[in-house]
Amino acid sequence: MSIRCVVVTPERTELDRVVDSIVLPMYDGELGIKRGRAAMIGRLGYGQMRLQTDTGTETFFIDGGFAQVEKDVVSVLTSRALPGKSLNVGTAETELSTALSAPASTPQQQQLKAAAVMRARGLLRTAARES
């Protein structure tokens, strides 16, 4: 039993492959998807997407966005999808440090900072799981 996973960023289609199951980082937790899942649309969070295949588990950092499940096709629309094996904990820690030190004196800056911190923490969690 398999499902198709398509990951699209603004630049290109990052991934289009058949997998056994998918775990997505949703805004409010993780969502596991297998063949026969009911149709849905959901808001993605910042974190690790796991693809289970015949050869093992493949991971990606997903940088927010939206996911749609329809007829055993999972479409992931995200601003960035990075292969888990390409992530580095040190780089992720630096990104988190930069986000935490960003100014936040206006409501708009506070909102941007909060999003940057959430993104960097998701990246760091994903990088730490890979190491």
Q: Quick one: angle between helices 89-100 and 107-130, nearest 10?
A: 160
| Residue 40 clears pLDDT 90, i.e. is over it | yes
Percent of residues in the chain assigned helix, strand, coil, to nearest 5: 30, 45, 25
Rounded average pLDDT over 11-24 = 96
User: pLDDT (tens digit, 9 = 90+) per residue, 60-100?
Assistant: 999 999 999 999 999 999 999 999 999 999 999 999 999 99
Confidence category of residue 18, pLDDT binned at 50, 70, 90? very high
| Rounded percentage of the chain residues whose pLDDT exceeds 90 | 95
DSSP for 83-97, please give it.
Answer: EGGG--HHHHHHHHH
Q: Which strand (E) or helix (H) includes residue 126? A: helix 107-130
Q: What is the pLDDT of residue 34?
A: 95
Tell me the whole-structure pTM to 2 decimals: 0.90
* Cα–Cα distance for residue pair 43/113, rounded to 1 Å: 20
* Cα–Cα distance for residue pair 83/131, rounded to 1 Å: 13
3-state secondary structure (DSSP) of residue 65: strand
Q: How far does the chain reach from its first CA to its final CA, in angstroms?
A: 30
* CATH architecture observed for domain 3-84: Sandwich (2.60)
Confidence category of residue 131, pLDDT binned at 50, 70, 90? confident
Q: Which residues, in sequence order, are bridge partners of residue 24?
A: 31
Q: What is the pLDDT of residue 49?
A: 97
Q: What is the pLDDT of residue 1?
A: 65
